Structure 1
């Protein structure tokens, strides 16, 4: 824990530390981060977009994961909260679409709030050809039709994938034919019966992708 967080945490402990639900308190000292270059480097437009966001270098886990995904490897990235895991898949997706705009990506998130946050993040990558859209229970009929026709990055959740997309795969056949990436974010939330359900949904997705002639790279991320 960095020094700048000591006072807020002291206040939290003072308020809640005596509660019976709190069984253990531990301070973890901050450690220096380790950065790593990419080979090949980021495309200029993406590098400029990240620089505008104050991201001038990549952490080692980001660079290693990006390299893995670039090489077409199914990749699992486990790193701490707010460690920039999203860049591990956003960068390869943006690079692929910048080079081949017909490529598509399907990103699955556990909550609508996270989906909307990632939509904003994708839009800030500076790739004009990248057209991202959410597809969930709040998406109206016209917006769903627009997404099917125009989006090359689709952000959804497991339930909508199960009941809204896969059963209507004939409406998505062009998207599935060009499917290059499947992202499952916050995979640690998908456990127990729900996790088993998601696993079967993903198997079904893979069968449909193969049916339409694609073999996407899968990327899983987790904070625990």
Structure 2
């Protein structure tokens, strides 16, 4: 720990060995932590840490609980995977992650993961293929895959999302499912039926619109048809799934 900073260290407590260095304005990750080989709980949240050097977590194979939230991190060291059989709780919310940190995918016993309020646009399918993860929070990210609405529904809904994409046929079908899945768990048969019907109706309306314009020179007629076209284009598709 850095000199003059608040530190709570319990080497033999009833709740296990832990080190708390929260709210200390720490900028440089304290490398001395790697000597605490029996550490089970580490809290470094609410500091100013930008980088965690490689080689620290390879000495912390018993670590179960790790809080790194509210720092300035954009990546995690590869050797975090050394905690794959121990780490159960990880909080990296309120940082600067733009891509999902790949070492997290190696944490086979992770039960609770917090990644809120970063800059993540995509989550890896592999994160939700195991059975260990019980709680996942990702609100406050500009997510596109899965959409934020899907993530708000919890782990099972995210798993359903990836399952639907995996079994969809064709790129066009995949884009349609992705577009609607966030709000309504797309992938069911009736959504495609309704989309097909909507497109057929719009094609018919546009054909009729073009036909009406041919040979007409009255300005009022064009204004009327223009208003109708804008009305058609502003219509939204409401899909109700059972």
- Shorter-chain TM band: under 0.3
Larger Cα Rg: Structure 1 or Structure 2?
2
- Give the structure, 1 or 2, with the largest relative contact order (CA under 8 Å, sep 6 or more): 1
Higher helix content, 1 or 2: 1
